[in-house]
Structure 1
Amino acid sequence: MKKLIIYSFVLASFLLISKRSSAQSYQTAVGLKFGGYENGISAKFFTTSDVAIEGILGFRSHGAVLTGLYEIHQEAFGVKELKFYYGAGAHIGSEGSGVYKRFNGDDYVYNNSHILLGADGVLGLEYLIPQSPIAVSLDLNPRVELATGPFFDIAPGLGIKYAF
C-alpha cells in the first residue's frame, strides 16, 4: 500500500508541474507500469511517428529488473487516439533468494541470489485521452528467462503515462 501511495504521489507531481498537452500524439512519456512480475517506472520515446523505445525499471519484492523494448505503433480500429503496438527487447536484473509465484501459479524456489537475463516481447493497446496528457496502456509481455531457465511466461501489464 505504501508503494501505491508513493507511485500516486509521483504521478500527481508530474501532472501538476508540467503543462498540459493538447496534441493527439506525443514524443515522450513517463509514468508507472504495473505488471505480472514487477511494478515500476517507465519512459517511452518515439524515434519516428510510429517507432518507440521504452525503458522500464521494475521492482520486485526481492530484486529489480531493467527492461528495454523496441515498439512499433499503428492506429487501431480507426481511432486516432488508440494505438496498437508490438515489439521485442530484453531484460537484465537480479533477484534474492525465496519462493516465487510464476504467473501460471507454480511455485519456484531459489536458494541463492541470482541474475535475471532474457528476451521480452510486447503486444498491446495504448489510448491517449483527448485534450489531456494522459496515456493508458494495456499489454501482454511474453518473457523467456535464460539465466535461471530456460522458461517462458506471459504477464499482463497496465501502464499510466504522462505524455509531452
Structure 2
Amino acid sequence: MKKFTLIALGVVLACGTQQVAAQSKKKSSSGGSNSGYSTGIGLRGGGYSSGLTIKHFLSGKNGVALEALVTTEYKARGARLTLLGEKHKSIADVKGLQFYYGAGFHAGAYQGRYYFDDVRYYRVHKKDVYVYRDYRSDDATYIAIGADLILGLEYKLEDLPFVVGVDYKPFFEVFHGYTGFYNDAAVSLRITF
C-alpha cells in the first residue's frame, strides 16, 4: 500500500514539474481557460477523507480541467486515487471566482474492516427492527473501486499564486462485495503555476 501511495505521489509531482518547465517557456498562465492559472497543487481537507490534490487545465479546451486526488480516510488504513474531469464556468463577472462540476472514478486499498457477523430481523408493531450482534474486525487488505461526482466553487486570489476552493464529492464504492454511497465535502488550498 505504501508503494502504491508513493508511486501515485511521484506521478503527480512529475506531472507538476513538467508543467512548470513548459510554462516558463510559454509564458502563458491561463491554460486555455479564464481560471487565471494552468496547474495547481495543494491539500484537500474534508469530512470523510483528506490528502493531496492536483488540478490541470487542458490547453485549447475552454474551462476543462483534470483533477487527481490522493486521499486517505480518517476511519480506514489505506489510500485512494481519484481521477476527475471537470468543467469550469465563471460566476457573475467576478474575476477569479469559478463554479465547476464533473465526474470520475477511483481505486484504492484499505487494511482491515469492521462488520457485524450476526444480524437478526424482527417485526415489531408494523416496524422493521434489526438487531446487530457479534461486532468483529479483521486486518486483511481489501481493494475498493467506485465512481465519483464533484460540484464546487474556487477562487483564484488576485496577485497571489493561490486558489481556495470548496467542493461536495459524493461517491459510490464497491468494497469486498459490499456497496455503499458516501458523501464527502472538503476545502482545498492549491499553489498555482
TM-score normalised to structure 2 length: 0.65
Equivalent residue for 1:56, pick from 69, 77, 81 = 69
Higher relative contact order (CA 8 A, sep 6+): 1
Unmatched 5+ residue regions in structure 1?
A: 1-17, 101-107
Aligned to 2:148: 120
Choose from 93, 109, 121 the match for 1:94: 109
Name the Cα RMSD after superposition. Answer: 2.6
8 Å CA contact 2:48–2:183 kept in 1: the answer is: no
Pairwise CA distance, 1:38: 2.0
Q: Using the TM superposition, give the Cα deviation of residue 113 of structure 1 relative to its aligned residue in structure 2, in angstroms.
A: 2.4
Scaled by the length of structure 1, the TM-score of the pair is: 0.75
Residue 157 of structure 1: CA displacement? Answer: 1.2
Distance in 2 between residues matched to 1:82 and 1:99, nearest whole Å: 42
Q: Give me the whole-angstrom Cα distance separating, in 1, the residues matched to 2:77 and 2:179.
A: 20
Q: Give me the whole-angstrom Cα distance separating, in 1, the residues matched to 2:68 and 2:48.
A: 16
Identify if the C-alpha distance between structure 1 residues 86 and 80 changes in structure 2 by more than 3 Å, giving closer, same or farther: same
Which amino acid in structure 1 is aligned with residue 57 of structure 2? F
Name the larger-Rg structure.
2
Q: Report the CA distance between 1:160 and its aligned residue.
A: 0.3
Moved more, 34-43 or 69-78: 34-43
| Letter in structure 1 aligned against 2:151 | L
Matches within 5 A, 1:1-164: 25-47=36-58, 48-60=61-73, 61-99=76-114, 111=138, 112-148=140-176, 149-164=178-193
Amino acid in the other structure paired with 1:69: L
Unaligned runs of 5+ in 2: 1-19, 21-28, 116-134
State the Cα distance separating 1:154 from its structure 2 match. Answer: 1.2
Fraction of identical pairs, as percent:
36
What is the number of equivalent residue pairs in this alignment?
A: 139
2:186 counterpart letter in structure 1:
G
CA drift of 1:110 comes to 5.6
